[in-house]
Amino acid sequence: MSVSRFEKLFHRAFLSASVTVAIVGLGGQAATAQTYGLATMQPGTLAHTAASAIAKVLKEKGGLNTLVQATAGESVLIPMVARGEIDLGIANMLETVDGIESGRLQNDLRIIGSIYVLRTGFFARKDSGMVKVTDLKGKRIPTGYSAMRTLDRVSLAILATGGMTLNDVKATPVPNVLRGGDDFMAGANDAFLFSFGGPKVREADATVGGVRAIEPIDTPQGVEASRKVFPYGYFVDLTPSPVFVGVLQPMKSYAMDYILFTNSKVKDDVVYKILDTMAKNKPDMVAVAPIMNDFTPAGMHRKHNLTYHPGALKYFQDNKLEAKAY
């Protein structure tokens, strides 16, 4: 074999080996690239839509490969995040506080920040004559919520604004809010509990000829009574709009924060980048989930007894974001 021929073959073999090494190297990088799971509720829920918006922005704008992971519910996903089985999660404040108070989380959950407002209330037939929460006295309403245990506390907090408890209504056990809405449409309940803007409210409105949102009693005594049930609930203003079916005039709604959280194992710089990316790309989140209109950098930092992740605290400090009271 001539020298020139040998050199050509050697050169081709070298190039082939180099390409193979490069491909293997790239493959190894792809295989070891960090992917972050974001746990939420099932598709079709407000929470799943919000999680999808957050994951999209974190991946496309922040370079954090984030995948939405649907679960059976918040009481399931919160301990999973606390144990490090999933990196991130979103849930309402009441579910999160309940999980911590029950001892299920072993003090490993870390809060990143508040992301939107969950507005909740009772709905009745438009022609029922029920306008204020005190009008629910003696009426049939869903209770129990065997698959959503914290919802009785939401009902209690709203009823407390009118000086009432579950003893003042006729309790009708249901497993979840969807069943409560179905029973209402079937005539088995006089009112049902649901989030404002939820699809079940729109369905009930079309089925029974119109629904009306029942207003809590927004007085200092009412607020104090509701906070004895749950300290982090508050009231927000609602006005009639196509989104808020059942709101027939300006009114107050009971509300609580929806929060984003992680666990102590997630690195500080990752949490910092999550907050920074969300703060800089709100319009992209709103385009996927309009509820993220509620999101503001200033509103992420709240005063509560839950433990913030160090990465979140550094972000708040660097951006001079003081904790806001409820």
Supply the range of the domain harboring residue 266: 34-116+257-318
- Assess if residue 232 is contained within a domain: yes
- In this predicted structure, the answer to whether residue 265 has a pLDDT above a threshold of 80 is yes
How many domains does the chain contain in total?
2
User: Same domain for 124 and 226?
Assistant: yes
Where residue 33 falls among pLDDT bands split at 50, 70, 90? low
User: Same domain for 85 and 167?
Assistant: no
User: Same domain for 156 and 230?
Assistant: yes
Residues pairing with 174 in the sheet = 144
- Assess if residue 195 is contained within a domain: yes
Mean pLDDT of the chain: 87
Boundary residue ending a domain (256, 288, 304):
256
pLDDT digits (tens, 9 = 90+) for 40-74: 987 877 888 899 999 999 999 999 999 999 987 78
Task: Please report the pLDDT score of residue 104 as a whole number.
Answer: 61
User: Same domain for 142 and 200?
Assistant: yes
pLDDT digits (tens, 9 = 90+) for 176-185: 888 899 999 9
pLDDT digits (tens, 9 = 90+) for 281-311: 999 999 999 889 999 999 999 999 899 999 9
User: Same domain for 216 and 174?
Assistant: yes
What is the domain-level CATH number for residue 220? 3.40.190.10
